[in-house]
Structure 1
Amino acid sequence: MAFILVAEPSASVAGALRRFLESASHEVTLATDVREALERVRELAPAMVLASVTESFDGEWLCRQVKEEAPAIPVLLLYLPEEEQPEARSSAAGAEACLVGPLKRATVVSCVSLMMQLSKAREMVSVVRTEMQLMQHQGPRREPTSSGSDLEFLKRLLFMEVKRSRRYRYPIAYLLLEPDRYAEHIAPLPAAQRTSALAEILRRLTESLRDIDVAVPFAEGRFIVFLPYTPFEGAVVVAERLRQRVKEVESVPGLTASIGLAVFEPSAAKGQAQVSFGSLMKEAGDSLRRAQAAGGDRVEGGRPVLTESVSE
């Protein structure tokens, strides 16, 4: 359960949103004015804000204010059906996501659930980065990787997103990134330097991603990047950007990385092929090995899986 603020001037729309969210066991408070909503954010520190955008209700202004004062609070902007550029407008305002009416219960609840999970995942990333920094000063004896419980959480998150992307028809992408010749360039470093190098890689990755994306270390010298709402072409652009960012790592001059890509894009027509979290991770792993076999410093990944069937 999460405490959610709904900023909506229409009593009927606000009431419907409240029913949607309370049916999913969330606690909801309402605000009918943007300045009232901002005061509620300051007083109550909600876990999330839903704000409408109309001619008479400037939810984008509210979003910008929330992001200035409490950037960790996710914001979902709600646009009217006639809005032609909701993604661009919501992104410019700093929102994590947007929905365009008419709003259905399943869509609202699913989107809120995803945003809450990604918020939790970002907190996990922050904890991992903090642990890395502490280990750098304390002289660690082990590689900084996600703990077992963190990795299990990440697996559950990604598995649910495979099924959710099928149901609500949005693409998701997975990237597996590994520094080239890790055994030669990073593994031999003293523990503190090795930790520092991996922490710098993670920092440069996360700085290059959207707020809704997740990047975490999950094995020795290997990182997984999860990109919701990202089709194949967009995932390739992100992967190439991350590949270039690894070259900027100052603690290991000349470092490069190989990246394996896997994308799931639900098609309009039902198919027979099966796709799962495991199969996507295998595809990303196979792509990573192809990139490494080709000499490294490259992105490999086939065209997206187009199917309506999801196996567990």
Structure 2
Amino acid sequence: MTENKSYKILVADDDPISRRLFQNLLAKAGFMVTAAADGHEALELFRRHFFPIVLTDWQMPRIEGPELCRAIRRESPGRYVYMIMMTSKGGKEDIISGLNAGADDYLTKPAHHAELMARIKTGIRVLQLEKSLRDAVDEIQVMSVTDPLTGIYNRGYINQRLPEEIRRSVRYRHDFTLLMCDIDHFKTVNDTYGHLSGDAVLQAFARCLSAAVRQQVDWVGRYGGEEFLVVLPETDFDGAMTLAERLRQSVESLVVQTGGHTIRITASFGVTGLSSATPPQAASAESLLQTVDQLLYQAKNQGRNRIQGHLFAG
């Protein structure tokens, strides 16, 4: 019974005696039950509160059961609702019509208590299976855009998302900046301490970058090897340069303990960005990436552990 409390059931029936009977039976079984006197009221309730299980009569005023089923399917495209149609109609054509309207099952009135519970339990099994499948799909989607070592976004996600961010910034004439950073002398870390220690350094570096940006706004991706990209929508060039210096200092003070070794690193940064004055036709992911990569290369050539930046000119 405790398990049933997580399932909210919406009962739609214009007959007050039947409605009360279903409500009492389901509540006694431990379900959270809300009742509606017709299809229109049921649809309004569903729009305000999601119900994973709907038990609806066929013939009701204003909105009948089949129409209610179709409306609920339209209202909840991303979440599955298990719907049982209650009807005194027993013909095959009527049953097929109800199922075609979106119902998952049907129940002939007057309903037997044991049959009702059996059909509700079937619905719960379907909902649990659907949730497991949805969770598996979500996990696959997350894995497909995540770098397995560092847990941040991967190159595929960068290639997909960066052009979208740039187009949005250009369209609304908003500031947009991009940081590309690279761990200095990372090959020496691998050669001196081994690749497992190198992996630990990459993970610590990624955490350092992620901790410094705004959640749900900015994002960090692994561009390749020891190169990382920090994407800063709604951030002007001066703000990006300030963040880059804060990151540079944080990396410089970072201490990585791994494999019995204490490893310290530094990083170099390239910074570029768009402003409201940037020619829209010149802004593209390819051109910004090329610019920020050249700036990072300059920072490396000028001695590393430094920042090189300028606004994108097109």
TM-score (norm 2): 0.49
When Rg is computed on C-alpha atoms for both structures, the one with the higher figure is 2
TM-score (norm 1): 0.50
